Structure formats: structure tokens, C-alpha cells
Amino acid sequence: MTGAGSFKTAVGISGIWVGAPDLWSFSTLAEVSACPRRYALRRASYPEIWDRPGYPERVNEAALLGTAVHDGVELVLRELSRTGCSSIADEQAVAAIRRLGGYSKIATRCLDEHLQRLSANPRMAPRLDGLRAQIDNRASEMRRGIQALVSQSPAAPNKPERGRRQDGDPVKRATLGEGRHLETTLVAEEARFAGRLDLLVVHSDRADIMDFKTGQPSERHNLQLHLYGLLWQLDETANARRLPVGSLVLGYVDGAVEVEPPSDWGELHDWLRDEIANAESQVRAQSPAATPSVECWHCPVRQLCDEYWDSPFTGGVPDSSFVDREVSILSRNGPTSWLGRLTRDGSEVLLRSSRDCEALALGSDVRILNLLAGEAEELDGMILTMTRSSEVFGPIQR
Ligand code: SF4
């Protein structure tokens, strides 16, 4: 692939840089701040792989569970709004949840829908059965998560939701009336900042904002909520009546946490302006800077990043036996075992897998993610085992 903005990676995958977005979000700013190259590689287009934007995501069990819980909460709260329930404590609420089949059915339905969406992802399609089997054991955890988060959502004026997405069409921008608004996109045109709020409850004199989290509490969540509060104040369409922010709440499975508003919204606005200017300058480069760190282990595009493979961070997270390695395939020992040499230090390794792997062609150099590392006595070296989460990329073209 050639042309303006196109690039080719060492593992033979080509893409086209997409540059800066029209509107920034909390997650895109955070990603550029962590590593501009990661942002650029994730969002580039890869027409030789698929026709969707960005590099296909690798979704793990925890992320899948989190998405299913999140979707389940949205489904229940939408049904409560549709039936005019102001909160889960309303008499009608039990019947509304029963109509959806109960919490367990809701969890399974949301999981199935998400797995269905992932079937179009070439990186995930071969793994969906295994993932499904793993996560089926956690159905009760999903049900409890949905139930806990729904119970924390604040009471809303008993009015039908307006200004919500319509049948999958782009978000209809409208002034948001009193009531509960789910998955609402707010836009600050001048600041070029947008965000999708899990739950916005508009009252006659204020708006309460809540974000649902299935992971552990983090300072980043507070900043995200502050930015959503700012966004509500800057969105002249959704908040045409200029209502102030009421409460800011983070809903965790273990309990809701009220977040203090920032002491100075103007300072936060200035900070946001600087962050966006900085992010713009970082991603404007043809090949945005790579900043390897311990965080690379969580980077879903590290297989494409040469700087990562030259860095000291391919050894996995501390106290874990999982590593990433570049390996030259020297010979085949059996149907599921190969002798290889690490390209970094030339040491020999024994590679094992539970199945045949065409990508491990003799004479080729490959990048393998998520290998389980152990000692191989017969080799006086390492034994590297491919697991369900391992991925092979290559051959490397140097
Ligand atoms: S592997 Fe690390 S340095 Fe490379 S893009 Fe990902 S986060 Fe950035």
C-alpha cells in the first residue's frame, strides 16, 4: 500500500494514518498523553484487514464482562424510563425488569449481543467460542454487577427521555428536557471536545451526572467526571437553559462514590484547551512519537511498534510469567513443538503449542504475544508455551 499517509509495519501490516479527530474525548486525550504512537496505530485505517475504522481490538474476559454489565445497566434504565419509573424503588420497576426476563437473562442477552458484534473482528472471531466458555462461569457476577449499578442510579423526574439516539442513527442533537438521559453525547463545539455520558439526569434547576465503572476506583475516573461536568456547561445545544451541574457520581459495583466538583471550572477549561493543543501537535506528525513504558504490556497494537520490541518492556508485567518475544523459527521438533532463537540475544528456546500453527514457518522471524515462559532443562534455556491468548505476527520484514 502506498500513498499519502500510508505506512507499513515490520510484520507486513499496512495502514493509513488518520491524524487528529474533529472532536477530542477523554479517552483519546488520555491515550495521546500516554503514547502518541499508540493512539495513531489504534486509530489508523487498515483496509487490507477489514473495512472498519482502527485496528481490530483484542478484547479480554474482563473487558467483555464490563461491557456486558454496562449494556445491561443501560437496558434496565431505558426500560425504567420507558415505563415512567423514576427509580428502581418504584412499584412498576419489578414488573419492568420481569418483562426484560430478569437480571440473569439481561446479562446473557447483553453478552450475546456483544459477542455477535465481535464476530466481525478478525482478531477475535477465532477466539469467541473459548471466550464464551470462560465467561459463562461468571454469569452470576454479571447479574450482580448489573443489579448493583442499577440500584445506585439516582431517581429521575418522571418524564420520558428526549434527545436520545434514534434507531442507530447518529446522535440527534437536541436540548435535553427534564428526565433521565442514557448514553448521551455532549459536544463543546468551541473547545472541540465531546463525551458520551452514561447517565445524565436533568432536573428543573440542575443536572446530575453519573458514570458506571466495573473496574477498580481510579483518580482518572474523577477527572473524567469533572470533564463531563465541564462539557455539560459548555454544550449550548443540550444545555440551552444553562443549568448548572448538580452532583457528580461514580457508580462502582461495590458502591457509589460522590465526586467533589473542581474548585475552579475555568482552570479546568484552560487545562483542557492546553491538553487538546498538545495532543493536536503530537498526532499531526507523520509517525507520532512512541514512548515505551511498563504500560506497553496493555497496548493492543504493540505487535506493530518497533520501538516496543527494541525496549526493555517486552518481559510482561511484574510477577507474571507471560512475555512477548521475537523468535526465529529454526526447526520443527514435532507436530506442536519448534526450536527457535530469540532475535534479541540469540539464545535458543523451545516453543510449544497445543495445536499446529502455520504462522511458525521454518526460517521465518515472528513476533509472538502472550507466551508463557518457563525453564527448559533439556535446552539450558527457555521453554515458551503458546496459550489461548497468544498471537503470532509476521513474518518480520527487516
Ligand atoms: S507498544 Fe508502547 S510505545 Fe509502542 S505504541 Fe504501544 S504504548 Fe506506544
> What pLDDT sits at residue 10?
97
Beta-carbon contacts of 371 under 8 Å, excluding residues fewer than 6 positions away, are 322, 323, 324, 325, 384, 385, 386, 387, 390
Q: How far is the CA of 314 from the centre of ligand 1 (A)?
A: 11
pLDDT attached to residue 316 = 76
| pLDDT on residue 157 | 83
Cα–Cα distance, 185 to 126 (Å, whole number): 33
Mutate to test the pocket of ligand 1, among 301, 303, 326 (most ligand atoms within 8 A of CB): 301
Query: CA–CA separation, 59 vs 350, rounded Å?
Result: 28
DSSP tally for the chain: helices H, then strands E: 10, 12
Q: What is the pTM of this model?
A: 0.90
- Measured CA to CA, the distance from residue 100 to residue 388 in angstroms comes to 34
pLDDT at 227: 98
Ligand 1 atom closest to Cα of residue 37: 5
Q: Which residues line ligand 1 (CB under 6 A)?
A: 35, 37-38, 41, 290-292, 295-296, 299, 301-302, 305, 307-308
| Substitution site in 291, 304, 306 for ligand 1 pocket (most atoms within 8 Å of beta carbon) | 291
- Give the three cell numbers for residue 187: 459536544
| Per-domain residue ranges of the chain | 61-152, 179-262, 314-393
Please report which residue ranges of 35-137 form alpha helices under DSSP H: 36-43, 61-82, 91-99, 103-118, 128-136
Given the DSSP bridges, would you call strands 348-352 and 381-393 parallel, antiparallel or unpaired? parallel
Ligand 1, residue 41: give the atom nearest the CA. Answer: 5
CA 311–ligand 1 middle distance (angstroms): 10
What is the distance of C-alpha 321 from the center of its chain?
A: 24
Check if CATH label 2.40.50.140 holds for domain 314-393.
yes
Instruction: Say how far apart CA 328 and CA 364 lie, in whole Å.
Output: 6
DSSP reduced 3-state for 303: helix
Is domain 179-262 annotated with CATH 3.10.129.10?
Answer: no
Q: Which atom of ligand 1 is nearest to the CA of 296?
A: 2
Q: How far is the CA of 302 from the centre of ligand 1 (A)?
A: 5
Distance 308 CA to ligand 1 centre (A): 6
Give pLDDT, residue 158: 67
Q: Do domains 179-262 and 314-393 have the same CATH topology?
A: no
Residue 136's pLDDT is 80
Rounded average pLDDT per 10-residue block, the chain, 398 residues: 82 94 97 97 96 95 94 95 90 93 95 94 92 86 95 81 46 84 95 97 97 94 98 97 97 96 97 97 89 95 97 85 96 94 93 88 96 80 90 92
Closest ligand 1 atom number to CA of residue 292: 3
Atom 3 in ligand 1: residue holding the nearest Cα: 292
E strand or H helix at 375: strand 365-376
Ligand 1 mean position, distance from CA 374 (Å): 25
Measure 299 CA to ligand 1 centroid, in angstroms. Answer: 6
